[in-house]
Structure 1
Amino acid sequence: MEGRKIIKWVVGGLGVALIVGYSFFVLIDFVYGPRIIISNPLNGYSTTTPAIIVQGRVIHTNNLSINDAQTAVDLDGNFHSRLILAPGYNIIKVTAKDNYERVVKKTIEMVLVESRI
C-alpha cells in the first residue's frame, strides 16, 4: 500500500511541474514584451546616398512596420528594408506589436546631405 502512495505523489508532482513549466513557457512572451534592436543605420547618421537599408532584429514580435509599411521578419527575428531618403532631415519610425497588442516604437533620425560637385 505504501508503494502506491509514493507513486501517486511522484505522478502528481510531475503533473504539477509540467503545468508550471508550460505556463512559464507560454507567459514568457507576455512578461518580456516586444523588443526592437536596430543595427543599421545609427541614430543621427548623415549620408550622401539617398538609398539606405534599415536592418535589425525583433524579439517577441508578430507584427513589424517601418514608416507604417509592413516589413517581413525571418524565423530568427531579423529584418531589413530598403528606404529612399528625402533631402535634409528624415525620421524613420519602426513599430513592433506582440500577440497581446502591446506596441514598442523606435525612431531613427537621419540627415541626407546633398553632395555638391
Structure 2
Amino acid sequence: MPKTLPVIDVTSPVCCAPVSAEPMGADAALEVALRLKALADPARLRLMSILLTSDVGEVCTCDLAAAVGLSEATVSHHLTQLRKAGMVVSHRQGMNVFHRARRDAMEALRQVLTPDCC
C-alpha cells in the first residue's frame, strides 16, 4: 500500500526560508514538496504556463482543454490538484468555470527554491 502524506493546508503561498538559507525542517520540506508534487506533471505545467501568460487573466476550462488537447474532465482534475496546492483560483460563471494562476504562490515557491538567496 502506498504511503499517504499528511494532510496540511497548502492553499496559501509557501512561507519558509529559502532552501539555501539553512537546512530545511521536516514541516517546511513537506509544504514545498506538496506544491512541487502538484506541479510535477507535464499537463499541469502546460496549464500553469497558459494561465500565467494569458492576456485576459483568467481562462475557461473549455479553452484550456482545447489548448492542451485533453478532455474537460481531465483538465478539471488537473486544475483541482493545482487549486488544492494553492497555485490556481477558480470561480463559476453560469455553466463555465474560469481559472487564473496565483502569481503570489508561484513567486513564493520561486523564492524558496532560489539557491543564491542569502
User: Could you say whether these structures have the same fold, taking a TM-score greater than 0.5 normalized by the shorter chain as the test?
Assistant: no
Instruction: Indicate the structure (1 or 2) with the bigger Cα radius of gyration.
Output: 1
More helix by share: 2
Structure 2 length-normalised TM: 0.24
More strand by share: 1
